[in-house]
Every structure is written in structure tokens, then in C-alpha cells.
Structure 1
Amino acid sequence: MASPKLAFAISANARVDEPFSARLIVRGGDPDATEIIECTIPDGLGLTYRAADRSVHGTPTRSGDFSLTVRYRFHGTSEDRPQMTANVPLTVNPDPRTLWQDRPSDRNAPGWKPDADGCLIPAGAGRRILAASKRGRSHAHFGGFRDDDFCVRVRDDSPWSLIAVTDGAGSAEQARTGSRIVANVAADFAAERLAGELGDALTLAAKGIPEADPVATRQMRTKAYEVLGGAALAAVKAIEETADRQGLSPRDYATTLLLAAHRMLGDEHIVITFWAGDGAMVVLEEAGATLLGEPDGGAFAGQTRFLDRSIVGDANEIMTRIHVLRVSDLLGLLVMTDGVSDAHFASDQALAEKAAWDAFWGQVQPILEAEDPVADLLRWLDFWSPGNHDDRTIAIFW
């Protein structure tokens, strides 16, 4: 009586350039009654067969559908009987990173801006600001636009440095324009106010904070409200005026806004911030990390709020979004969109954990010391994070 033919399978698919190990499975028969004599693998695939545990292992060098050939026989059969063969399919999936295309955006489209941008600016007292913004893979694949933006302002007539980072709503038709307008208008407005009497008054109030003087703290928050709340309002007005000229709705320009200002006060640092939307802003010190607000949630999971009249039209709402901080040992002030923060922090809770920020700082700190920090930061923004392919923007004061 002829022995039944068996079918074989590999217990898992492989992926090109990733270590692989999977068992050779017998289907339709008793594995213990089967002797595998040989398993032949296509040449140059980077895989080998290990008889001891009936496994295929190695690192595949190319993707595709391949066929392995198994020669086998049943235990107890005469060795002079013909050996049986079976073909075993093996799928090697491509590296998902190679599937993404990088198509340039349309330079002739209204509101076009470069798909990537960056700058390195001296900020006084030996400090610098490094910023970079890059279109995400999800936009690059289809030739879409960079909806993120940033603006850095450092003035010779002011001790204050300004950073604005914005993230245009993916569903908004003119998000790329909205993020640019809001970043520039907010940073320019705040820089102008801080270069004058408001900046002096804010600094004076800050001198009472080390003793936790509630009056000085309240005065500083009030002055910060005038500066940063005014900047947010000016940005919203600029969007409304642009929308009116173009015959569109302000919602078509929807964007977040993270706005931060810094100055030295003696040997210490004064930081004031305004936060509307998702992303992250943090002050890093040797002793810990201080998150300068919290990401906004929208009506549904995965959504966020955007800067609009509902935020700037309510004084209490604005005040809840303003933070003031005085620190003596500042390692860095980091401002980033969620394209960066979501990929490195698994949850809002992780955003408050010093260990998570220590790990993040360990990645970006070497870039700050590089010969060309802007180019290196733009390259770093290409980091691979499964499922996270949004635009990415980060600004670092250090």
C-alpha cells in the first residue's frame, strides 16, 4: 500500500533584513512518524535548515514568495524505497520602509512651502535654538504637503527667545497655510510685546517666585497672559482675516499652537508657555522633567482641539493653558508636534515620566553636538515607528 503524501508548512512568514526562525510543520500526518531527510532552500536567500529542531532560520536578503523542497520518508519504511518530496511555500515580506514613496509636493499650489525646513539660531548667553520640521511619510507617499510648521524669534533688543510650533489639521484644506500663519504671527506678537514694557514687568514679577510669593506668581501669570494670550488671539484673527479674503472658513486653516518664551534672569531661567492642541512641551533639568501643560483631547479618540475662538474668547480658558516656570539648571526646553511625541511616548502618562524623557534626551543630545545639527536633526526625524507617519517638528532650546 502506498504511503500517503504529506504537506508541510512554515510556522511563520519572514521579513527581509530581520532575523527569522520558524518551525517546519507536518500537516496531514504524524510528525513523529516522519523523517525529514533534507530541506532545500533557494540559493542566496540567507536562510538555512536546522535538522535538530526542524527549523528554518537566518536573515532573509530579499522579499518574495519562495518554494522550499523537502525530502522525507516514514519511519519503518525500507531505505531502498523511493523518498518522497513536497514543496513548502515561504513568504518573505518586504521591509515596510521600502514601500513608502517620497513624491514632491506641488510647488505651484497656493500656500506651498518646502517639504522640510530647519534652523540653528544663537539665543544669547551661550545658548542656541535648533528646530527642524519634516513632512511625514503619510503625506510624502502621495505628494502631499507639510502641515506642520515652526517659527523661532530672537531679537537683539530683547533678552527673550520665542519658539512657536504648529500642527495643521490633516482634514483642513489649508492646514499648511494655517500652521505657517499661526506660528509666525504668534511668535512675532509675543516677541514684540516681550521686547517692551510687558517683558520688563514680567521679569520683575518673576523675581518673587523663588520664595513662592503668591502675589508675584499671580502677577507673572497675568503678564504672561497678556503676552501669550494676546499672541494666540492675534493668530486667530490672522486666520479669520485670511479665510475671509480667500472665501473660506477658518476651520479650513485649523492648527494647534505650542508657544514658549525664555529669558535668563541672573543665573536662572524664566520660561512661559501657551499650549493649545496635542504634541508636547517640556523643561528638562538634571533633577527631572516638567511638562508645561497637557495634550488636548477632541470629542473622539485620536482627535485634538485646535486654536480657535472657543479658546481665545475665554479668559479662564486661556489662563489654564499658560504656565510659568523658573529653573536654575535647565538642560533643555523642548517643543514638538505629536508626530514626534506620539512615536516616543506611549501615553500621556509617559509624558510625565522622567525616565522616558531621559531616554528621549539621550537620542537628541548627540545631535546638538554634531557638526551640522540641522541636517542631523532632519535625518533623525526620519526615525521609523510603526503606525506613526505624521509630519514631525521639534524645536530645542539648550
Structure 2
Amino acid sequence: MSHRFLKYVLEQHTAIDKKLHDTFIDQLLKKEEITQGVEWIETFQNHVIEHFMMYQEIEEFKDEHLTLPHGEVGRTYTFTLDIQQFPHLKIKTIEGLEPLGLSYDAIQGTITGIPLAMTSSKIEIVFSHQKAPTQLEKKSIYFMVNANPKDLWRNLPSDSSSLYAQPDTMSSTSEFLNRKLVAASKRGRSHAHVGAYRDDAYCHIQLTEEWGLLAVADGAGSAPYARQGAQWVTSFLQDYFQEQEILLTLDTALAHCALPEQVAQSIAVTPELTVAFSTCISSLFSNLKEQVKQSNLQLEEIHTTLAFVLCKKIDQGFLFLSYSVGDCPIVIYDDTLQKATVLNKLDVGEFGGGTRFITMKEVHEEPIIHRLHVFYTPHFSYLFAMSDGIYDPKFGTESQLMQTPAWTDFIADLQGENEDDIKVDFNDDHQIAEQLVAWMDFWSKGNHDDRTLIVVY
């Protein structure tokens, strides 16, 4: 290095014959003051180069296009800044985060917090280079906080004094056979936004002779009094099956069924059961026609789906008798076997996506056996009945209802593994109904229908 430097000096600043350069350089390097001077120059040169490199890295970082994921008002925000391509830089702090509800952890390199308001704000990344740790530099970037989609929806109360008014939210708990039951129905955002009514309805009741009933009805959004249609069908079933004679008829019909030995499976529908349910559904339709006649309405004005299941506790386990029109699923789930069984056939696909309603005359002209199902199981962990306001966002397709991962995810969701950290605690008898209502407020883009869910556990 010294030889090369001195040669450069001779070439640039003297006219000495180049043939003599090496001789002169050797003589110069024998002088201590010359070698010390050259070493100092080399050190200074390296120092200058290091500073140039430092400033280059600082400026490159300032010019780097650095973006942060957008935040959302009211939702936990976590993001770790990755500056591995700038190994000599260290972020000291980020100015401007505190007013937004955020903070920066310099050790973890992470921005965390809950954004307070919608904004597009300039924040300053304060950093330094390891060769000049006290020399602070700043890089400006913009941080966007979007509105919480939930906040864009109004929640206008429905008119409680109007014809066929019903509460926007309802919930209940009860004993059910040898289990517990929690149920809730919540008006969807699309209805709440305009102050419309909740069109879903449900019922559940512990009957005599080890029988129990639960039902879900989803009124058609296109029918002006669908909410009353849903209320009429569920109320009818609740009253109908409280008749002791009806339950005795069902017990007699079940006596003709051959039960399997401790193996969960469908059971053939006997003629006796077909007659018993035909009588029930025929009576229901007659009641609906009488109701609309007395109310000066048409059946099309009260269109509603219906799914119900009668549960019977027997010595060998449980029997489920289900009937449905529409797309409200009824499902049992067994934790031990990790298996879900859909107890009813949904009116999807077969009818080109068109919903069928219990209020349609043509439905009652079909053989009832296509809609009636009997299932036996020695045990189960959960029994679910839900409207499409739950089914659509949480499962999406009918095939997903039969997939174990979809159900383990759904149950985990109920137990608090969700972005809102809302838990339905099945060990909390006092708060569980309120918890289920709160859980039902989950956000799912494009899914804003009424939500109804009954859980037997």
C-alpha cells in the first residue's frame, strides 16, 4: 500500500523519470517520518471511506420504499419492521405513533397497539448508524388506519309498535334432555342498517317422556312479513308437540324401528313415522293458511324456511327425528370420533340455489319421506341448529358441513379462537347467553344476514 501510494504521488506531482520511481520509493520508505506519514494518510483514507459508506447506507435507507400494513380502528395491530438489508442501522424509536394508539418496541422491532381513529398520518422513523450511534437520522413514511367496517354500519332500532314487531335480539338457556342448551338470534347488519326487523325465529322446549324439540326458521328477505311466518311456524311446533297424545304416537312409531347396536347411523323411516310426521306438517300448513286468511295476508308475504329436530333420550343413547325445508342445517358433532353428521338435507344445489320455503304449496305436494330423517347415536358432544346467517360465513358450502376440520375450527371459534377474542364459555351457566350474542357480532365480509344458533352441549 505504501509503495503504491508513493508511486501515485510521484506520477501525479513530479516529472521524474518513471525508471527511477522504484529506486526513489525504496529510499523514501527507509525514512521513518515518511512511513509514518503514509500510514497516517492510509488510516485517514480508510476513515473517510467508512464515513462515505455510512452516509451511503443512511441515504439508501431514507430512499428505501418502506410501507406498513394498514391498521384498522379498534383492531389489534402488530407489525415487525424488517431492515435486514441495512445491518448497520438501528431504529431507535418511531415518532408519531402514540397519538394513533400505537407504540414501538425497539428491542423486538415491533409496532403494536389498537388504532384509535381513521387517519393517514406521517410518522418519523428515528434511526442511527452503528459507527455514529449518537447521530440520529429520520425517515418519514405514511401510515394509514382504515375505518372498522363494523363502524360503517348503522344500528337503528326497529319499530317496536309496528305490526308483527319482534325484538332485534333474543337469547335463552335451558335444560335439554340430560344436557344444557343455549340459543340466540341476532338481527343482521343489513337489517339493522335500515332499522328493519329480524326475520329469524327459533324455539326449544323440554317435552315429557324424554323428548325435546328445537327449531330454527329463517324468514325470506323478500317477504314483507316473513318474521311473522317464522314466528308462526316455530310457535306452532312448540304447541303441537306438547300434546301428550302426539308424543305417544311417536313412541309407538319408533317401536317399529330397528335400532343398531351402539353404532351411530341413519335409520330407515317406517310407514308409522311417515304418517306421524305427515300429520304434523299437514296441520302446520293448514294453520299457516288459516293465519294468513285471518290476517288478510298471502302465503307469499310470510315465506320462511324451517328446520326442526325432535330428540329422544333412550337407554341405548339418542334418537333424532328431523324435518326441514330450506337451508338451515342441523348437525351433531362427536368429539371422541371427531365426526360431524348432518341430520337434514338442505335445499341447495338441487334447486339451482333457489331457497325453498315451508309456506310453498308445492313443498307440501312432495313425498314427505324426502325431507324426514331418523338418526341414532349412542352419544354426542354437541347438537347444533343454525340459520344461514351462521352457516354461510362459517362453512360456506354444504360439503364443508361434513368436514371435521371445519367443525373443529368452528368449535374453537366459539371457545374464543377468533379475531375478537370473544369466548362462549360452556361452563358459565350465568353468562353464556350474553356471550353467544356477543360472539354473533363477528365480522364476515359480505355476510350480514340475521344470525340464529342453538347449541345443545
TM range (shorter): 0.7 to 0.9
Select which of 236, 240, 257 maps to 2:285. 236
Cα drift, residue 172 of structure 1: 0.9
What residue in structure 2 maps to residue 3 of structure 1?
A: none
Alignment of 1:266-281 (within 5 A): 266-281=315-330
Structure 2 partner of 1:117: 170
Q: Answer with 339-348 or 115-124: which moved more.
A: 115-124
Q: Deviation at 1:264?
A: 1.4
> How far apart in 2 are the matches of 1:194 and 1:325?
23
In the other structure, the counterpart of 2:438 is: 379
CA drift of 1:188 comes to 2.8
Distance 1:167 1:45, change over 3 A: same
Q: 1:190 to 1:226 in 2, by over 3 A?
A: farther
Q: Percent identity?
A: 28
Report the AA paired with residue 206 of structure 2.
V
Q: CA deviation at 1:337?
A: 0.7
Distance between the aligned counterparts of 2:443 and 2:229, measured in 1? 27
SS in 2 for 1:351: helix
Give the SS at the match of 1:387. Answer: coil
SS at match of 1:232: helix
For residues 285-328 of structure 1, give each alpha carbon's deviation from its aligned partner in whole angstroms, at most 9, with x where no partner exists.
2322211123212798764221122112222xx21111101110
Query: Aligned to 1:199, what secondary structure does the other structure show?
Result: helix
In the TM superposition, 1:177-216 aligns within 5 A as 177-192=228-243, 195-206=246-257, 208-210=258-260
- d(CA) in 2 for partners of 1:161 and 1:217? 19
**Which residue in the other structure is 2:378 paired with?**
328
Cα distance between partner residues in 2 of 1:202 and 1:341: 32
Does residue 137 in structure 1 map to residue 196 in structure 2? no
2:420 aligned residue: none
Equivalent position amino acid for 2:316 in 1: D
Partner amino acid for 2:205? R
Task: State the alpha-carbon separation in 2 of the partners of residues 60 and 143 from structure 1.
Answer: 30
Q: Which residue of 380, 389, 396 corresponds with 2:448?
A: 389
1:103-149 Cα offsets, whole Å, 9 max, x none, are: 2211111111122222222234x333332212122222222111111
SS at match of 2:254: helix
1:186–1:50: structure 2 CA closer, same or farther, 3 Å change rule? Answer: closer
Q: Is the 8 A contact 2:186 2:198 kept in 1?
A: yes
Q: Which sections of structure 2, spanning at least 5 residues, go unmatched?
A: 1-62, 82-92, 126-137, 416-422
Match of 2:310 among 254, 261, 264: 261
Tell me what 1:96 maps to: 149
Separation (CA, whole Å) in 2 of partners of 1:57 and 1:350:
37
Do residues 15 (structure 1) and 72 (structure 2) align? Answer: yes
State how far apart, in whole Å, the 1-side matches of 2:261 and 2:118 are. 67
CA deviations on 1:338-390 (whole Å, 9 max, x unpaired) are 11122221321110112322332342695332132322222222233332221
**Is the 1:276–1:321 contact (alpha carbons within 8 Å) kept by the matching residues of 2?**
yes
For residue 100 of structure 2, what is the aligned residue in structure 1? 45
Question: What is the aligned partner in structure 2 of residue 128 from structure 1?
Answer: 180
Aligned equivalents of 2:72, 2:248: Cα separation in 1 = 62
1:174 alignment partner, one of 218, 225, 246? 225
Residue 252 (structure 1) aligns with: 301
Q: Cα offset for 1:167?
A: 0.6
Which of these residues, 188, 193, 210, is aligned with residue 159 of structure 1? 210
Distance 2:231 2:391 in 1: 20
Given that 1:271 and 1:324 are in contact with CA atoms closer than 8 Å, whether structure 2 keeps it comes out as yes
Q: Provide the TM-score with structure 2 as the length reference.
A: 0.68
**1:266: Cα distance to partner?**
1.0
Pairwise CA distance, 1:67: 4.1
1:340 to 385, 390, 394: 390
- In 2: Cα distance, 1:110 partner to 1:293 partner: 33
Q: What residue in structure 1 maps to residue 426 of structure 2? A: 368
Unpaired runs of at least 5, structure 1:
1-5, 24-37, 72-84
Q: Specify the SS of the correspondent of 1:330.
A: coil
TM-score by length of 1: 0.77
- Write the deviation string for residues 191-213 of structure 1: whole angstroms up to 9, x where unpaired: 4377444222123123x22169x
Distance verdict in 2 for CA 1:233–1:367, change over 3 Å: farther
Q: Quick one: which amino acid aligns to residue 65 of structure 1? A: T
1-structure distance, mates of 2:435, 2:225: 29
Among 273, 292, 309, the residue aligned to 2:343: 292
Q: Check 1:375–1:46 CA distance in 2 against 1; reply closer, same or farther (3 A cut).
A: closer
SS of residue in 2 equivalent to 1:210? coil
AA aligned to 1:105 is S
> Which secondary structure state, in structure 1, belongs to the residue aligned with residue 300 of structure 2?
helix
Q: Alignment partner of 1:378: what SS?
A: helix
Aligned mates of 1:361, 1:225 — CA distance in 2 = 34
Gap change, CA 1:131 and 1:11, over 3 Å in 2: closer
Q: Shift in Å at residue 184 of structure 1? A: 1.4
Shift of 1:336: 0.9
Given that 2:182 and 2:456 are in contact with CA atoms closer than 8 Å, whether structure 1 keeps it comes out as: yes
Higher gyration radius (CA): 2
Greater relative CO, 1 or 2 (CA 8 Å, sep 6+): 1
Instruction: Give distance in 2, aligned partners of 1:284 and 1:396.
Output: 11
Task: Return 62-71 or 114-123, whichever deviates more.
Answer: 62-71
**8 Å contact from structure 2 (residues 267, 376) kept in 1:** no
Which has the larger strand fraction? 1
Q: Which residue of 1 aligns with 2:116?
A: 62
